[in-house]
Amino acid sequence: MSLQTPMDDFFRSQFEDKLLAAAPRYDNDHLTPAARLLAKRREGLEVETALKSQKEEFERKMDEISMQRETLEMKESELRTKLMSHQKHFKDIEVKCSRALRKAEQEEQLAGEQASEEQRLRSELARLTAHRQKQQQRLEKLKHCAVYMERSVEAAEEFTEVQEVINRHQTLSSTRKDLVEHDQANQDAIDNERACLTKFKEEKNNEMLSCNNQIAQLQAVNEEAKGTTVKWEGDWAHIQNTAAEKTLTIGQIRMATRNLFILISKYLKQEINETSDDTTTMLDRIEVFIKDLAEITQILQSDHAMNSASTLSLTPAMARYQEDFLA
């Protein structure tokens, strides 16, 4: 079955009640068969016109639904591509974060080692400071022993002069200051990197949430489109079921018309074209025959009312013609 026929049948069955309700009603008891057939033909033309308009509207809606579905599929594909790109980007970020964390751990370990060294140096410095204070106190007490001190320094293995002890203290102080500044700079760099990482994670989480919301909205629109498609498919099945009944009715009408045409042709002793299937031509010939028969009957009835004897004077052919028509 072609698409054109089911669509015609669908619109015919869908809007038949409304169109027939708007069509004029005729009293079948006061109409001739030809008039009733003409009325049926006029109603059929009105139905075909309305069905053609509804069919165009249906095709337009189906095209819109198809275009919307293609647009949704394209958007879904784009979102999936973006999601894959974001996932790849996240993996790259995770690798970079791992490297940064490893580097930070190494720097922290180095800072710990430096802190240990600093502690050792501080201990050494504290020891030397205490020693210096004690030496100063002793120096105050033992100024008169300066000569003895110099002699003691000269006798010591580690230092040869008192100034060497002072220089050693200054060197340790400068080293401690450099280590403290370097440790503080490393700590500030680690804090900045952690803050940037936290901010970046928040931004990417917000982007992922936005993408998930868009996907959910598109899925909802897709489900709605699928529901509409199911509804139209159900209506289409109903159309096909109703179309069969209408086709049967039209076939019965055409068969009755052909049978009546054959009876008239046989009565008039005219040749019948068995291959002809023009219902309009058959109806025209039936209408002409009925009009002629009606005129003959009217003339006969009028003559009978005026003079009953005139009815007896009818030819046998006219009497048989009237009897066959009345039968």
**Tens of pLDDT along the chain (327 residues)?**
444 455 555 555 555 555 444 444 544 555 677 777 888 888 888 888 888 888 888 888 888 898 988 999 998 888 888 888 888 888 888 888 888 888 888 888 888 888 888 888 888 888 888 888 887 877 677 566 556 556 666 766 666 776 665 666 678 788 888 888 888 888 888 888 889 988 988 888 898 888 888 888 888 888 888 888 888 888 888 887 788 888 888 888 888 888 888 888 887 777 666 556 778 888 888 888 889 888 888 888 887 787 654 444 444 544 554 555 444
Dihedral of the alpha carbons of 120, 122, 124, 128, in degrees to the nearest 10: 180
What is the predicted pLDDT for the residue at 306?
78
Instruction: Tell me the whole-structure pTM to 2 decimals.
Output: 0.27
What is the predicted pLDDT for the residue at 15?
52
Burial 229-255 (b: 16+ CB within 10 A, else e): eeeeeeeeeebeebbeeeeeeeeeeee
What is the predicted pLDDT for the residue at 275?
56
**Whole-angstrom Cα distance, residue 146 to residue 114?**
39
| DSSP letter assigned to residue 274 | T
Residue with tokens 């008239």: 264
Asked whether the beta carbons of 12 and 51 are under 8 A apart, the reply is yes
What is the predicted pLDDT for the residue at 22?
45
What phi and psi values does residue 33 have, to the nearest 5 degrees? -55, -40
Q: Is 322 exposed, middle or buried (0-12, 13-18, 19+ CB in 10 A)?
A: middle
Q: Which positions ≥6 away from 246 have C-beta within 8 Å?
A: 9, 12, 13, 16
Q: State which amino acid sits at residue 257.
A: T
**Whole-angstrom Cα distance, residue 265 to residue 260?**
9
What is the predicted pLDDT for the residue at 154?
72
